Amino acid sequence: MKSDKKNDHGDGIRNITVKLAGGSGTALAGAVAGDILRFLLQIVLGRALGAGGYGLYSLGFGLVTAVGQFITFGLQDGVVRFCALYSGEGDGRRLKGVVYVALVITGLGGLIAAVILFFLTGPVCRFLFHKDELAVIFKILLIFLPFCGLTRILACIARSLQKITVYTVIQYLFHPAVNLLTVLALTAFTLTPAGAGWSATIAWVVVAFAGGWMVLRSCPALLEPVVPVYEIRKLMGFSFPVFLTGLSYIVATQCDRVVLGALVPAGELGVYNAASRVAIQSWFFLQVLGTIFAPVISDLHNRGRMDELASLYRTVTRWTVTLTMPVTIVFVVFAGEVMSMFGADFAGGGTILTLLAVFYFTSTVAGPATLMLTMTGRPVIQLINSMVIIIITVVLNLLLARMYGTLGAAFATGLSVVVSTVLRLVEVYYLYRIHPFNMDYIKPFLAGAAAAGVAAVVRRALPEVVWPLIAFALFLCYILVLSVTGFSAEDRQVFAAGRKRVGFLHKNR
């Protein structure tokens, strides 16, 4: 009897894992495509604008998108949590109320913030950043502020209702695709930093309207003629502490650039921004898998299925490390070559890329620990974490960036990431006795060490071989070592599900 119960429990874990992997497959495919588009966009901008122009544009774009994260007031996580709960309970009135409140607050917040910042732009650009030419770019980019916030909420609505395809298109594909097409069109003439700003603004406006149409079409429950129930206090009571928690992510990704914007010339800032945008791809798989895992955390925790939650946490973390490892190795081994893709002005940024890539990778070893705290109702702990990380990040950047410039900013940002990772990993274990480590966790590190060694030997023995071919050999070696060490039962079920899906698509062509 106990054996049967144990088998049923194991089957439940495997079924949820495969279901999760199915959603992850859709999200990963779209996210990879979107990331490629964004990377191509940055290369086009870097080559067209040069390091100086790219530095000005990136500073303005980074500041406005950071404000765009502020104006959601944490409602992104609130929408995911409460829409998922009310949808599962079949409570259409409260579901509709959450959607309406989130959209109205975000839209009005973005509009008010854009107006206020428009009048502050001149003094801020002149006295804080000492770059008068930044003002025009910043004012253009402020136009997209409310549309950027609304798009994020729309994506979270789709995500909470498990409309993964809609979520993937809105979150990952629309904006980089429209932006890239607009930039290429402007490049045919003469692209300026202001022109790049108009391109980004047009893209966000298009995405907001198209995303709204997609959400309404795919979620008919939102169109049902029911009177919404507004639980503003409950929604904001959860969302606002999460909003304060999210400050740590904004500070971690923007503080270095803001400090450098006030300390170094636009050219150096452009090189650092390019290196940072490449290195932060080490968070790519963590974010994508985390978006799929978040509603599952809330659901399993509410039903008290902690063993299954622990198993899924280990699985998602291992997948994250496994997928991130070869990308990070490429960034480290071929740092100079990757930076040269942006143009000759950026070739000297290899050291910065190496440092940031390694530091950002360390955050993947804890997996979605932040979501484990947020989606299990621990916003106060997250708030305390955020305050600690914000203080550490700001202080380190002010000290190290002032003393050592861009290298100091890279060290400051990286150290704050390491502290944040260790802190949340310890807290998850203390609260739930859950950690992401098992013997399977070691396999991607063994494969990564072998692949990096092979790449280094081949590069030294055959210096005339172009680096993309060596990088491709690195990936093949990594996959080979993983195959030799063996895949887990969850991995094999995911592969089987993937083969069935491919076979189904081929059969119905």
pLDDT tens for 31-46 read 788 888 998 999 999 9
Q: What is the mean pLDDT of residues 28-32?
A: 75
Same domain, 70 and 96: yes
What pLDDT is stored for residue 12 in this prediction?
42
CB contact at 8 A, 4 and 144 = no
In-domain check, residue 507: no
Kindly report the number of other CB atoms within 10 A of residue 250's CB atom.
18
Report residue 388's pLDDT band, with 50, 70 and 90 as the boundaries: confident
Kindly report the number of other CB atoms within 10 A of residue 88's CB atom.
16
The amino acid sitting at 369 is A
Q: What is the C-alpha separation between 443 and 72, in angstroms, rounded?
A: 39
CB contact at 8 A, 172 and 35 = yes
Q: What is the mean pLDDT of residues 403-412?
A: 90
Same domain, 489 and 397: no
- Could you list the residue range(s) of the whole structural domain that residue 365 is in? 11-437
DSSP, collapsed to helix, strand or coil, labels residue 205 as: helix
Same domain, 427 and 497: no
Percent of the chain beyond pLDDT 70? 88
Name the domain boundary from 412, 437, 462: 437
In-domain check, residue 237: yes
Number of domain units in the chain: 2
Name the domain boundary from 417, 437, 457: 437
In-domain check, residue 1: no
CA 133-137-142 angle, 5° bins: 140
Higher pLDDT, 365 or 89: 365
What pLDDT is stored for residue 509 in this prediction?
44
Residue 102, C-beta contacts closer than 8 angstroms, at least 6 positions apart: 72, 75, 78, 79, 153, 156, 157, 235
Same domain, 42 and 111: yes
What pLDDT is stored for residue 180 in this prediction?
92
Higher pLDDT, 331 or 368: 331
What pLDDT is stored for residue 239 in this prediction?
77
Report residue 437's pLDDT band, with 50, 70 and 90 as the boundaries: confident
Same domain, 417 and 444: no
In-domain check, residue 509: no
CB < 8 Å & 24+ apart, contacts of 6-13: 9/307, 9/308, 12/305, 12/308, 13/307, 13/308, 13/311, 13/312
Report residue 8's pLDDT band, with 50, 70 and 90 as the boundaries: very low
Q: What is the C-alpha separation between 278 and 286, in angstroms, rounded?
A: 15
What pLDDT is stored for residue 495 in this prediction?
60
Same domain, 17 and 70: yes
Same domain, 232 and 271: yes
In-domain check, residue 129: yes
Q: What is the C-alpha separation between 379 and 122, in angstroms, rounded?
A: 37
Q: What is the C-alpha separation between 185 and 199, in angstroms, rounded?
A: 10
Nearest to 73 by CA among 35, 112, 47, 43: 112
**Tokens in use for 413?**
């940002």
Same domain, 306 and 322: yes
Same domain, 327 and 411: yes
Higher pLDDT, 342 or 370: 342
Residue 209, C-beta contacts closer than 8 angstroms, at least 6 positions apart: none
**Tokens in use for 494?**
């995911």
What pLDDT is stored for residue 502 in this prediction?
44
CB contact at 8 A, 420 and 363 = yes
In-domain check, residue 2: no
CB contact at 8 A, 223 and 216 = yes
DSSP state string for 274-324: HHHHHHGGGGHHHHHHHHHHHHHHHHHHHTT-HHHHHHHHHHHHHHHHHHH
DSSP, collapsed to helix, strand or coil, labels residue 397 as: helix
Q: How far is CA 468 from CA 350, 455, 474, in A?
A: 16, 11, 10
Report residue 467's pLDDT band, with 50, 70 and 90 as the boundaries: confident
Same domain, 59 and 181: yes
Same domain, 312 and 453: no
Tens digit of each residue's pLDDT (9 = 90 or more) over 134-172: 889 999 999 999 999 899 899 888 888 878 788 888 888
Residue 18, pLDDT above cutoff 80 = no
In-domain check, residue 6: no
In-domain check, residue 285: yes
Tens digit of each residue's pLDDT (9 = 90 or more) over 218-245: 877 777 777 777 788 888 877 777 676 6
How many residues are listed for the chain in this entry?
509
Q: What is the mean pLDDT of residues 23-28?
A: 61
Name the domain boundary from 385, 416, 437: 437
What pLDDT is stored for residue 41 in this prediction?
92
Same domain, 156 and 241: yes
What pLDDT is stored for residue 457 in this prediction?
84
**Tokens in use for 177?**
């695709």
* Average confidence score pLDDT of the chain: 82
Up-side HSE of residue 311: CA atoms within 13 Å toward CB? 20
